[in-house]
Amino acid sequence: MHTQVGIDVEQAALLLEQGELVAIPTETVYGLAANALNAQACARIFEVKNRPSFDPLIVHLAASSDCEAALASCARVIPDWALKLARAFWPGPLTLVLPRKPLVPDIVTSGLDTVALRMPAHTLAQRLLERVPFPLAAPSANPFGFVSPTTAQHVLDQLGGRIAYVLDGGSCRVGLESTIVGEQGGRPVVLRLGGLGLEELENALGPLTLATSSGASPGSLESHYAPRTPLYFDDLGYRARGLSPEQVGLLLFRAPLSEVPPDQQEVLSMSGDLNEAARNLFAALRRLDALAASRGLRAIFTQKFPERGLGRAINDRLRRASFRPA
């Protein structure tokens, strides 16, 4: 299959109506979209991504000022906390997990009684969602377990030839997957840290708990979001591992280290802006990974980012990227 790249919303819509897959830009990362109400089309998402069927998809909704109606299109129950969050942060990088209506196919929710819903804030994605008469199921447009794509080229690099069309919306403005909030024991809990800061959620709802890894989202596996090169999180001690400056890549927050060649270092935000750092994170990981392959770098070493704003989600992704089973 030849994968086309462009900004033709009409063509993307026609393909989706035919049950094809289209990669779409969102403010978080690129998604691999299918008609969320077409089980067969959604099954192809799992096939193309090589995604295990126990990892459910996020359903993307057309923007509307009536958040209650939008939620009610797929959710059977809408708790007060969910309506409050949707009204405060939609369209935006926030996903809500709520009891699902029967029209949402089992394959989308991995058979769970809940469905993950989000209204993305990206002009092209929204034009597409307004154009088609169904919501779009879309996980990140990368092979399962790899780093999420934040440009159309990233999608092409990994899924080119396997999907019909990539809608090119430029670089993703947020650059991290959405924050996911669900309910446990009648109370909202954060199931995954992401593109909306915990502080902002807590400003709206008061103190929140983070789900433990066993209670977290089914897809929140320990090892995830990983480059192929071994990655050490919160650890710049390459010498202690017997490596020289020429053999390592560094992922840093504000400033490079003088002893390592400059082109083997990625500095995510010289000005110390965590939003900018988040926006640059995945592209930087990809560049270091590619450099490791071409130049024989042995490992990537990273700092820990400040535990505030998007720094928490950056640390979460790097921690998962660094996980290696014993």
CB of residue 225 vs ligand AMP: minimum separation in angstroms?
Answer: 9
Indicate whether 175 belongs to the interface with ligand AMP (CB under 6 A).
no
Single residue of 22, 58, 128, 174 touching ligand AMP by CB under 6 A: 58
User: Residue 110 contacts by C-beta under 8 Å, 6 or more apart in sequence?
Assistant: 53, 54, 55, 56, 218
> Can you tell me the distance from the alpha carbon of 178 to that of 215, in angstroms, rounded to the nearest whole number?
18
* Among candidate residues 207, 204, 195, the one with its CA nearest the CA of residue 86: 204
Taking CB under 5 A as the binding criterion, the range among 93-101, 138-146, 198-206, 311-319 that sits at the site for Mg ion is 138-146
Give the Cα separation of 213 and 253 in Å (integer): 26
Binding segment for ligand AMP among 17-25, 123-131, 217-225, 263-271 (CB under 6 A)? 217-225
Residues 124-143 that bind ligand AMP (CB under 6 A): 139-140
Residue 313 contacts ligand AMP per CB under 6 A: no
Residues whose CB falls within 8 Å of the CB of residue 47, separated by 6 or more in sequence, listed in order:
none
Dist CA 177 CA 162 (whole Å): 22
Please choose, out of 8-16, 36-44, 107-115, 150-158, the segment that lies near ligand AMP by the rule CB under 6 A. Answer: 107-115
Phi-psi region of 100 (alpha: psi -120 to 50; beta: other; left: phi over 0): beta
Q: Is residue 26 within the footprint of Mg ion (CB under 5 A)?
A: no
Q: Which is nearer to Mg ion, 250 or 283 (CB)?
A: 283
> How far is Cα 48 from Cα 46, in angstroms, rounded to an integer?
6
Stretch near ligand AMP under the rule CB under 6 A, chosen from 108-116, 128-136, 271-279, 291-299: 108-116
- Name the residues that contact ligand AMP, by CB under 6 A: 55-56, 58, 97, 109, 112, 114-116, 139-140, 177, 180, 182, 191-192, 217-220
- Name the residues that contact Mg ion, by CB under 5 A: 140
